[in-house]
Structure 1
Amino acid sequence: MADIDFPDDLIALERSAWTEIQEGQLTVPTALAVQQGITTFAETSKLDRIAVGMGLKKRVRHPKPAA
């Protein structure tokens, strides 16, 4: 999968969700906002929604080490 250029606001949403998940307190509004953001971004970018979601999670949860 090629690297996707995610918008900063979508990355911020996923970071918020990941923080809530790690704290055991993921809320429905946060999860819904992330999913809506993924769907909107995928549609406007003409990318597969599943690939966008997986790529976003990978980017936030497993970032590449700084070079």
Structure 2
Amino acid sequence: MLLITKRLYMQTAEHFNTTPSCVERNLRTLIQNCWSYPDHSFLNLIAGTELQQPPTNSQFIDILAAYLRN
């Protein structure tokens, strides 16, 4: 997953003409914004389990990829 994440950051950054660190930071911001809502039911639905803490960037990407595959 680490190589996928680093490659994904690089390719996304190139596509949007920014840096990989900006992509990583914005993904962390997205996760924190999702987690800040009092109701995590949709995030739990996507994850397929009840999350006890915010997912890491890699976990979030994995959760979204698995949800989109199904």
Instruction: Provide the TM-score with structure 2 as the length reference.
Output: 0.43
Bigger CA radius of gyration: 2
Structure with greater helix share of residues: 2
